[in-house]
C-alpha cells in the first residue's frame, strides 16, 4: 500500500491501493499513444503548457507545501521553498527549452550536417520522498518540453503529493496521458521496462534501488539516469570568519533535516581550525528544537519515518561503540514522532559504518587534516562522488583543491544547493547522468544526425 503516515506523530492518515497489473499495462499503452501526438504538438505550445504548470505550482504553493509537510515531515518554510524551486525549474525549461532544442549545424568533411534534437518516447520516472515535488520537476519539465511522455512512480510515502503533481500538470492543459501518476509496484516497473514502447527510466533514490533498476534497464537495453546517494565532503582550508563558516556548514547540513543527497556529511578541517570548528559546530547543532513541522517556529523537524530514525541512530551507536567521540546529540527524542537529536561525530575511522555509509539525517562527521594532500585524500576516500564544497579566503587555493576532488560537482565557498540552470549529478556510486540546465534536456534525447 501507498500510505500517508505523519512522521511528527506516527499517525496513519491515508492509504492508497497499488495499481493493478492491468492498470500498469494500460499506463504504458496510454503513455505511448500520447507520445505519438505530443511529439507533434508545436514546440512553442509544449513550452507554453509547461510554463503554465510552473505558474500553477507557484499559485498553489501553500496547499502543496502543506501536503509534503504532512507526508514526510518537512518544515513548512522549507516546503514553501521547495515549491519556489519547482516553479523556477518549470519556468526555466519553458523559457529556454525552445532554444536548447534548435537544430545544431555541424560542419563535416566534404559537406554539412544537422543535429536534430528529438524526443524518444514514453519514459518511467521513479522518485523519492525527500523532495517530493523538486525531484519530479527536474525530470518532468525538460522531458515534457522535449516531447517525451512520462509514467511516474513516486515513493510509497508520498501518494498525495504524487497525485497533486498530476493534477497541476493536467490543470495546466497538458494532455491527460502525457503525464501519468501510477501507484506501481517494483514488479510492475520491471515488467514495464521490458515493454519495447518504454524508452528509458530515471531514478532518484538509494544505491540498492538504483542497482535494481539499472539491472532491469540493462537487461532490456533501456537508457537509465540514476541519481543516487552521496557522502559529500566540505573541506575547510582557511577562513577569516570562523563563525560565519560554521553557520554556513550547519545550514547546509541541516537543510531538510539532513535528508539531502548533496548535503555535506563529512567535514574535513585543517588542524589549526579543527578544535574551534568542532566546538562551535557542536554548539550550533545542539540549538535545534523539535516541534510540529507545520509550525513556522519549529527548528527541528522529524525524520521521514521511524525506520529512517532508527537507522541513523544505529549508525551513530555503531561508531561510538568502536571509539568515535559523540560531541552532541545522536539519540531518539522521547515522545511521538521520528525525532533524532542532531549529532556531531569525530574520531571516525575506516572500520566504522559511518566512515563509508551515507548519513541521511541530522548528523555529521568531522575529520582533522594536516595539509591539503590529506584533506583531498579524505575527501576522495568514499564510494560516492556527488557534490563537494571547498572553503578558503583564497579562491585560487580553493579551486586548486577542488580540481583534485572526485565528484560530479564542486562548490567554492558554498555547500550543496541546486538551481534550475545548473546541471546536477555525480560519479562513482552516486549515479550516472545529469539533470537540470541544458544537460538535463539531453539525457532522453534522440540527437538525430541529418547529412545534407
Task: Give the active site residues.
Answer: 227, 261
Instruction: State the virtual CA torsion across 290, 296, 301, 305 in degrees, nearest 10.
Output: 130
**Residue 317 to residue 449: CA distance in whole angstroms:** 56
**Phi–psi pair at 318, nearest 5 degrees:** -60, -45
* Contacting residues for 8 by C-beta, under 8 A, at least 6 apart: 73, 292, 293, 294, 301, 302, 336, 337, 338
Please check whether residue 433 is in contact with residue 443, taking contact to mean a CB–CB distance below 8 angstroms. yes
What is the Cα–Cα distance from 217 to 157, expressed in whole angstroms?
Answer: 24
Neighbours of 267 (CB within 10 A): 27
CA neighbor of 302 nearest in space, from 288, 290, 314 = 290
Question: DSSP strand E in 31-133: where?
Answer: 104-108, 111-119, 122-126
Q: Please, where are the H alpha helices in 262-342? A: 271-285, 306-321
Helix (H) or strand (E) holding 55: helix 43-59
| Cα gap 225→217, rounded to integer Å | 10
Please calculate the CA angle 293-299-301 and round it to the nearest 5 degrees.
40
CA distances from 244 to 224, 255, 277 (A): 40, 17, 11
Amino acid at each position: 500500500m501507498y500510505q500517508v503516515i505523519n512522521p511528527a506523530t506516527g499517525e496513519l492518515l491515508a492509504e492508497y491501493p497499488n495499481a493493478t497489473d492491468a492498470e500498469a499495462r494500460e499506463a504504458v499503452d496510454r503513455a505511448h499513444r500520447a507520445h505519438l501526438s505530443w511529439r507533434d504538438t508545436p514546440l512553442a505550445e509544449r513550452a507554453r503548457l509547461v510554463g503554465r504548470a510552473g505558474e500553477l505550482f507557484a499559485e498553489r504553493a501553500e496547499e502543496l507545501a502543506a501536503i509534503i509537510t504532512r507526508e514526510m515531515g518537512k518544515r513548512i518554510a522549507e516546503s514553501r521553498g521547495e515549491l519556489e524551486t519547482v516553479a523556477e525549474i518549470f519556468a526555466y525549461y519553458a523559457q529556454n527549452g525552445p532554444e536548447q532544442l534548435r537544430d545544431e549545424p555541424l560542419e563535416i568533411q566534404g559537406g554539412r550536417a544537422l543535429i536534430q534534437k528529438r524526443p524518444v518516447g514514453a519514459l518511467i520516472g521513479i522518485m523519492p520522498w525527500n523532495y517530493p515535488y523538486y525531484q519530479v520537476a527536474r525530470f518532468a519539465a525538460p522531458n515534457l518540453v522535449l516531447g517525451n511522455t512520462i509514467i511516474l512512480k513516486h515513493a510509497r510515502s508520498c501518494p498525495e503529493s504524487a497525485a497533486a503533481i498530476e493534477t497541476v500538470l493536467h490543470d495546466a492543459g497538458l494532455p491527460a496521458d502525457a503525464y501519468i501518476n501510477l501507484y506501481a509496484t517494483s514488479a510492475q516497473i520491471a515488467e514495464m521496462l521490458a515493454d519495447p514502447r518504454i524508452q528509458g527510466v530515471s531514478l532518484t533514490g538509494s544505491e540498492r534501488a538504483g542497482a535494481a533498476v539499472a539491472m532491469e534497464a540493462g537487461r532490456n537495453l533501456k537508457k537509465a539516469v540514476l541519481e543516487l546517494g552521496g557522502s559529500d565532503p566540505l573541506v575547510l582550508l582557511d577562513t577569516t570568519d570562523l563563525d560565519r563558516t560554521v553557520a554556513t556548514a550547519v545550514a547546509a547540513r541541516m537543510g531538510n533535516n539532513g535528508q539531502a543527497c548533496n548535503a555535506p556529511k563529512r567535514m574535513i578541517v585543517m588542524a589549526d581550525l579543527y578544535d574551534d570548528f568542532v566546538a562551535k559546530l557542536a554548539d550550533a547543532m545542539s540549538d535545534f528544537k523539535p516541534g510540529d513541522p507545520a509550525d513556522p517556529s519549529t527548528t527541528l523537524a522529524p525524520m521521514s519515518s521511524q525506520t529512517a530514525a532508527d537507522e541513523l541512530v544505529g549508525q551513530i551507536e555503531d561508531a561510538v561503540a568502536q571509539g568515535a567521540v559523540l560531541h552532541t546529540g545522536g539519540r531518539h527524542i522521547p515522545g511521538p514522532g521520528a525525532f533524532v537529536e542532531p549529532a556531531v561525530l569525530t574520531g571516525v575511522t575506516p572500520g566504522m559504518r559511518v566512515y563509508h555509509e551515507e548519513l541521511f539525517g541530522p548528523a555529521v562527521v568531522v575529520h582533522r587534516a594536516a595539509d591539503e594532500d590529506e584533506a583531498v585524500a579524505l575527501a576522495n576516500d568514499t564510494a560516492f562522488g556527488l557534490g563537494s564544497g571547498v572553503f578558503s579566503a583564497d579562491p585560487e587555493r580553493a579551486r586548486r583543491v577542488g580540481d583534485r576532488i572526485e565528484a560530479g560537482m564542486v562548490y567554492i565557498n558554498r555547500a550543496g544547493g541546486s538551481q534550475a540552470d545548473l546541471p546536477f549529478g555525480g560519479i562513482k556510486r552516486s549515479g550516472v547522468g545529469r539533470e537540470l540546465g541544458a544537460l538535463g534536456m539531453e539525457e532522453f534525447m534522440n540527437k538525430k544526425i541529418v547529412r545534407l
